[in-house]
Amino acid sequence: MSSSRVDAPWFEFDRSAWRSLLARQGRLIVVFLVLASPLIVFDPRAGFDPDAWRPIPIGWALVISALLMGGFGVGLVAILRAADRRVAIDLAGRRLRVGRTVVPFDEVDTANVVYPTRDGSQALSIRFGHRHNPHRRATVMLLRGTEEVLADDAKKVLLEALAECPIVRPSSPYDPAGEFASANFPGTLDQAGALAVVRHPPRAGEPLP
């Protein structure tokens, strides 16, 4: 399980599990782009036109295209990693910090389950924060595969914080009471659901609360 860092009064959640997952996905992206790089030279729809590449030997053209595509993949992963925002909680001050943005608990009114990859069995996270401002939302990974990510102290802090936040599912004009919110807004959670997901993160194939 991931450890966390305490910088009084802030408790900062460890991001190593997310960065490890990002690195793995990044390697797959780079490999895919490198393998797809011959498409820059060979257009399968139009066939190969040697005139366009006459000044450059085909071998060098393939190498250059592979370097370009690989470089693009590495750059994309670097941008995603730089955009990863640290998450910290100050229980005494009743506030959440996402990157450099501080959000009072009273403004944390939405939560939902997030699958960081297209394969939902690889990881599961919870995202919570301000309903109308995505820049004021935090994401904390709960599962990597079937293994829980949060250490006991981190889980305790997260549970205490969520218990003090007015988290509700969104509603619609056709369902103002939110009776069918779980069906109308799949993946969203109310406060009880958010607490349940953190306590016992559902594995792949298990229903959400």
Q: What is the DSSP string of 33-46?
A: HHHHTHHHH-BTTT
Q: Report pLDDT digits (tens) over 56-87.
A: 455 555 566 666 666 665 565 555 554 567 89
Of residues 104 and 145, more confidently modeled = 104
Beta-ladder partners of 47: 43
Look up residue 87 and give its two tokens: 């998450």
* CB distance 87 to 17 below 8 Å: no
Band of pLDDT at residue 127, cut at 50, 70 and 90: very high
Band of pLDDT at residue 98, cut at 50, 70 and 90: very high
The conformational region for residue 101 under phi > 0 = left, psi -120 to 50 = alpha, else beta, is beta
* CB distance 3 to 151 below 8 Å: yes
Q: Would you say residue 129 has pLDDT above 70?
A: yes
Of residues 204 and 109, more confidently modeled = 109
Q: CA–CA separation, 181 vs 22, rounded Å?
A: 32
Q: Would you say residue 157 has pLDDT above 90?
A: yes
Q: Would you say residue 88 has pLDDT above 60?
A: yes
Band of pLDDT at residue 174, cut at 50, 70 and 90: confident
Look up residue 22 and give its two tokens: 């990002």
Band of pLDDT at residue 93, cut at 50, 70 and 90: very high
pLDDT at 102: 95
